[in-house]
Structure formats: structure tokens, C-alpha cells
Amino acid sequence: MSDSERAAQQYDEMVVSYATEKERNIFSSLFERPSTITRLGDVSGRAVLEDGLDFQPDRSVDLVVASLVLHYVRNWHAVFSEFRRVLVPGGGVVFSTRHPAMDWQLHSVEDYFAVKQVTETWTMLGEPFDVTFWCRPLTAMTAAVSSAGFVLEQLVEPVPGPEIQQRDPEVARQLRTEPSFIFFRVRASLRAEPGGRM
């Protein structure tokens, strides 16, 4: 089973619980989503891709958004090469993923640099669901991005805001002491790609 098939199957199994929990979940609604939106900047008049890549023409979008999806994929170089294909020259990608420090503490304490697949059991609305994803160090993340011809513009570890502190001080404490997500904004470099494309 491919990474994408496994992730689709697991999310299909928990879709109702996940949708209900996501709106109430402070990590999603008050932390990850606003942090990703902040990285986008002004998107007025820009072609933004928030859907599949399958039939997207070459050089057809200005910006790709990938919110908490890349940790379900082992081969980031292939994904970023496809992002590069659909982006106009100088176009960008904004993405969030699991924080490597969190994954190191939970799954790779014996080797921070390991790239490995793990399965966690998430409980939503009292029901357990298995979720499988890939852990990787920051070095592997940035290497995949740069090898596909992107330049790092922003790497952000947001500080939880006062609204989170007011809603749930324990979540605010957790976000300050156990970073959950990391956010990137990268730009397709203007140098020629292999094969002569810009």
C-alpha cells in the first residue's frame, strides 16, 4: 500500500470524528491554521493550489499550500519536484509539518537523524484510530526542499498567542515546551532546472 493510499484509508475511517474534533481542537483552530495563513501573505489575484496535482498544467500556479500533509509521504524530493513543475518561476510553497523535535522525543530518541515510518493511535470522540506517518530530521526536510530547486524564505516555530493561553493554559504550556508543528515558506529558485527549464 502506498503512503497516499494508507493515509487516505486511515483518514476515511476517522473522517466524522476528525472533522468534529478539528474545529474544537486548539492545536488546529488557534495554532496551526492561523500560523499557515500568516505565511501566505496577500493572495489577491494569485493562483493558489489547495487541491491535487494530477492534472495541474506546468507553470500554472503562483503558490502551493500543503498544511500538515507532507509527513504522510516518504519521498519529499518527488513531491517538491512536482510542486516545482506546477509553479510559475519564482512561485512559492507554504507548508506545515510535524516538528522534528517532537518526533525525536516520541519516536526516535535513539537516532534523531533516522527517517522512519511510525504509527500512533489517536483518540477522537472516545474512539481510537491508527495514524501512520514519517518522522524525519530538519536536515532531511531542508535537503529535500533544496534538491528540488527551492530556496528557504521562512522557517518558523510560532509562539502560542494569548488566546490559547486564555482558552487552555495547559495547551499553551505544551506548545511552549513540546513543539508540535514547524512552518516553512520556500520559493522556486530562478536558476535553470536540470533539462534547461527555469
d(CA 64, CA 33): 15
All structural domains of the chain, each given as residue ranges with its CATH number in brackets, are 3-188 (3.40.50.150)
Q: Tell me: the pLDDT tens digits for 29-73?
A: 899 999 999 999 999 999 898 876 777 899 999 999 999 999 999
Q: What's the number of CA atoms in the CB half-sphere (13 Å) around residue 161?
A: 10
Q: Which residues contact 39 (CB under 8 A, 6 or more apart)?
A: 94, 154, 156, 183, 184, 185
What strand order describes the sheet that includes 181-188?
48-49, 61-67, 87-98, 181-188, 150-156
* 197 pLDDT tier (thresholds 50, 70, 90): low
Name the grid cell of 184: 516553512
pTM reported for the whole predicted model: 0.91
* 193 pLDDT tier (thresholds 50, 70, 90): low
Q: What percent of the chain has pLDDT over 90?
A: 80
**Mean pLDDT in residue range 179-197:** 79
Number of C-beta neighbours around residue 110 at 10 A: 7
d(CA 49, CA 62): 8
Residues 30 and 163: beta-carbon distance below 8 Å = yes
**Mean pLDDT in residue range 101-119:** 97
CA 151 to chain centre: 17
